[in-house]
Chain A
Amino acid sequence: MAKPSTKGLLKEILSDDIEWVYVHITNKAIEWSVAGFVDEANQLLEQLWKFNIPHSGHLWLPDEGLQIMWQISNKQPANIPFQFKEVSVIETENWSRFFFQVGTNRTHTAL
């Protein structure tokens, strides 16, 4: 199954609930950012944010990912619509989602 195309995204923009339109466009920016096109992703996000669509709570994971990409690349867009978090907290939480000891509910501290 091929991943959703931009052609499909254009149809969703016309017909989907506006919150999901906002999420889908942000996810497109995430895709570009992951591929190293941070400037281009920021350009799309800045234009998206100008429409003043309320920021979606569904985007908390991408928000945290973008925060780190911006900080590492020193390329931060204007008018970011969400609060930054402590990077070490993001990383610890990210790690604990993938590695844990079977049979306990302790969170990961290794490495």
Chain B
Amino acid sequence: MVKIFFPSWHESYTYSFIKKPIDELEGQELFVKAITAIYDKSESTEKILDALKRYIEKENPVGYTYFHATTCASLIAARQNNQEVTENFIQLWGKGYSTYWSNYSLAYLMRDRKCAEYLLKGSLASVFKLTHEIIQKETKEIIEALSNRMLSGRTLVYKKLSWKQLLDKISKIAIKQKIIDFSEDILVKKSLSKSPATKEEINTAENRLEIILPDDYKKFLLTSNGFECFSYTGVTLAPIDKVDFLIKVDKQLVGIWANSMDEINMTFGDKLKRSIIIGGLEEVQQLLLIPLKNKKWECWHFSSWRPGEVVYESFRFYMEGELQGLEDNLHVD
């Protein structure tokens, strides 16, 4: 079975401590020992639960590690039929979701009958700040929005904003959130935008590429010739003179992906070969514009870690999606 979910610890890391009694360990070694001890039964379940409790309380794990530790503790405690301990760990697990939601998959405790029995008691309702009334209201809102979506198709949420207004809004929230470290220059001018491109610069690029670029992207360039990256999963949008076909910039990337996807998706490789890279040059993820045969365009956020592409109907949809993500992270429960 492939361990896609779990970070494997190599023996070269664990050999110095894995045989020690769990009471003598602390920090990451304590956590690794606890998880391993469940498998090899080198410690009693009670000691393992104590170790995980100590690790969670004293070592202050964050993100995925917090999720992993509280999930493990909840699963083990539930199988021990220890109600108080199980409910405490499930509470900790639930509290972590509010902060580390992007590291969570809620399904893992549901996929275990013992844990599911505890979840059904509703002890996380107060942690998630949910009531029957709130849920009824949200159900109505969600179904109404979905009905509108199915009637009208995919629509832009911020279509009334000009490009300048949209980029200013993104800049303002991103700089406030400080997801990544910004340069002094950005902090002083309080903007992630660049100087506008000229029509001549855009024409020169279109002649060089022998293609007419989509209108929304050209309007963006006329507002800001590129845009700074503001998140770990985002891209730096390139100035127009750096924009080129992906196959010219990274032939190897296109070759690997196009060949590996041929059997699954016949159009993927063809699209990737025709794609134009507008962001993420020499970065972990790329932003691509794909000319379609019906003269329309797609915009792909492409990464090997996801893996693959997230398709947007246009560049504007991508940028609005980025703003939506920023706005949602500002939300305080």
Contact = CB atoms under 8 A, between A and B. Distances in A.
Nearest to A33: B110
A73 B101 CA distance: 25
10 contacts: A7-B331, A10-B145, A21-B146, A33-B110, A34-B109, A36-B121, A40-B132, A68-B111, A68-B113, A97-B3
Prevailing SS type, chain B contact patch:
helix
Interface in B117-143: 117, 119-125, 127-128, 130, 132, 135-136, 138-139, 141-143
A14 B155 contact: yes
A31 B35 contact: no
Contact of A111 (B38, B122, B125, B135): B38
A23 interface: no
Residue from B45, B102, B154 having most chain A Cβ neighbours under 10 A? B154
Interface in A74-97: 87, 90-91, 93-97
Contacts of B111: 61, 64-65, 68, 90-91, 93-94
List of 5 A-B pairs having minimum Cβ-Cβ separation, nearest first: A36-B122, A65-B110, A8-B328, A65-B107, A3-B101
A110 B39 contact: yes
Nearest to B4: A97
A30 B1 contact: no
B47 interface: no
A3 B333 CA distance: 8
A100 B331 contact: no
Nearest to B331: A5
Nearest to B119: A34
Given A17-B311, A25-B146, A44-B142, A37 B135 contact: yes
B241 interface: no
